[in-house]
Structures are given as structure tokens and as C-alpha cells.
Amino acid sequence: MERLSKHLLSWASLLDEPTLDQARVSSQMPFIHPHLALMPDAHLGKGATVGSVIPTLGAIMPAAVGVDIGCGMIAVRTQFTRADLAGRDLAPLREAIERAIPLSAGRDNRKVVATAEPRVAELEQLAEDAGFDPARYAGRWRLQLGSLGSGNHFVEVSVDETDAVWMFLHSGSRGVGNRIATHHIAVAQRLAKQWWIDLPHPDLAYLVEGTPEFTRYIRELRWAQRFALLNREEMMDRVARQLSEFLDDQVVEGERINCHHNFTEKERHFGKEVWVSRKGAIQADAGRPGLIPGSMGTASYVVEGLGNALSLNSSPHGAGREHSRSAARRLFTHEQLREAMAGIEFRDTDAFLDEIPAAYKPIDQVMADAADLVSVRHTLSQLVNVKGD
């Protein structure tokens, strides 16, 4: 860990100047308490740095939570072992998962399936209790539950160091969460102009606790966080069903972990109640299980928090980008992607070129930097990878 200023601490050994400058600006906002914590996977983001933990007193910057509210990971350890999949053609399993879960931006379900019905009902009740209608943001939000999205979202079947088979996936609150976030970022920016607040960047606009705008944001944000968690649960149940059918044996869950890495919670740190916005970071309280994925084609980790107070009990959420998507498409080739994915069943298309492992920080270095934040319980190696274009 390196103290870069009074209000900025960093665990990142790989940190470029634009990212550092962005973090410095965010850390100088007057309501930061006690400091902003940069995680090992930190990289340039919209307004606030991805891979940052931002504790605030009496205010929240909606862009510092991110537009994919509640984005995160879920993993399930099964009773199956590597031997159960050895020698099998895994393409039919990948294709079955691709049929069961709508992939890519803008794709959703044709109907609310039986497993999604109680989850949709829960979200309807939560929205009613919060006093808002999610359909104002996305009329088809019910059909988005159980859909993956695109970019770095994925579904994987992996094995750990004991040869146990895991199901692992990454997704968030889909289009409805994005629109909720975008709306409240715009509200914060409008209020800043209305009250002549001079901001170092428009995306650092904030909502003040106690105002109607803040209260509405928190209610809708919590709904979107719940949507994201249930979205992952729904998809995981579908993956389990496909794996069961593929192996002709029911999945028996040994462990299930579901955690956000784009979210806000009220917590107590350094003697004060603060809003902790983790934008690309997971909670890592002592003993708390968590998930840190690598990039496409590299290892992922099941971890346990160490409760590091200076990090505000946080840890990285993944490898963190080293090259932008456009830069990755200029720098790397489809053949290099194939080489990086050797031995892993995946949909072989150059649509995923911007997700090539070389576009990300080395996950081994990220985990080394996080040694005082989490301990590693399991290291997962991919067998099957599913992504949306």
C-alpha cells in the first residue's frame, strides 16, 4: 500500500497517470472521509476510477457507483469433478447455456419463466414499497431478469485446484439499472448547475443526504442492487440446469457466493457513519467470502476477506483493463485470442477481441497486490466460457 496524499491510498502497482490523476481529483471532493482507496485493478472510469472505494459523508456521487448498479459475481461449487467432464466435447454444454440465457446488449427473455416468477414478484413488491415504477425506466425490465449482457460479462464452467467443478458468472442490473443510474447522474448534474456548484468534473456531481433527490436515488439504487443479485441467481439456476442435463445428474451445491462490486452501502469506518461507494471493488470484511475473476482465459479466485481497515474492508473485483476496447482491437489479432483461449471451449469469434486477456492487467499481479486485503481459498481454471457480443 502507498499513501499518495492525505486522502488517497493505493494498492495498485500498475497505475497509469490518467487513472492516478482521475483518482486524485475524486479524492479531493470535500465530503471524502477518511480517504479514497484505490484497488490493485484500478483503471480509468467515467467520472470516478474503476477499482476505487469512495467513502463519503452526507453525499453520494451517482457516477462513482457506476451505471451498472449492483454488477457483480456469483459462483457455485458442485459435487462434480474434472473427471466427470474429461474427454467430453464441451461445445454442446456451451451451446446449451447460450440457448438458456439471453446474451448481448439489448437481448432479453421472450417470457417470464417459472423460476423467474417469484423473483419478479419480489422486485415488484420492493418497487411498490419504494414508491416507484421501474417500467418508467425500462418497460421490459421483467424480461431482462435472467439475461447476461455483453462486454466483460460472462458465464464459465471451471475447476479448482482440487478438481472440483464450479459454475461462475458475472453480470449486473442490465438496462433497467443503467437507466436508473443515468437518470440520477443527470439529476445530480442539474442540481449542481442550479446551485452554482463548481465541480472539477461533471460526473462528480453529487446528491446531498436529506434531500428528496438523495432519498429517491437510494430507494431506486437499492432496488437495482437487488435486481442485479436476483438476476445472477436466476442465471445460475439456468446454468445448473444445463450442466445437470449435460452430465445426466442433478447438480448438488456445495457452496454459493453472490457479491456486488458496483454498489453503495452505509457503513462505519474510522469513527463515522459513511456511504461507501465501491466502483469495481468487493466487500472484504474479515471472513467474508468473495469472488475475483481474471480476464477471459485466465484464472479466477474464490477469496476470503481480511478486514483491512485502511482499504475500508475492500478488495479488487477483477483484473482491471490495461487497454481500452478500441485500443485492444488495434493491438491484437483473432489468432492471438485463439492462442490465449487454447484448451477452453468458447465461441470463436473476433467479436471478443476487445476482451482478450492481454487487454487486462495480469491477474497474478493484481492478486499479489491484494495480499493484505484477501486470502485465496480456491483458484479456478476455465473449461467453458460463454459471452455476449
Annotated catalytic residues are: 317
Cα–Cα distance for residue pair 262/253, rounded to 1 Å: 26
- Packed helices 212-247 and 117-130: angle between N→C axes, nearest 10 degrees: 180
Q: Which of 334, 341, 333 is nearest to 381 (CA)?
A: 341
Q: How far apart are the first and last CA of the chain?
A: 37
Say if CB 180 and CB 264 are below 8 A apart.
no
Find all residues with CB under 8 Å of 196, minimum gap 6, and list them. Answer: none
User: Side by side, which strands form the sheet with 164-171?
Assistant: 255-260, 72-81, 164-171, 154-159, 374-387, 300-305, 289-292
CA 329-335-340 angle, 5° bins? 90
Length of the chain: 389
CA 203-150-332 angle, 5° bins? 95
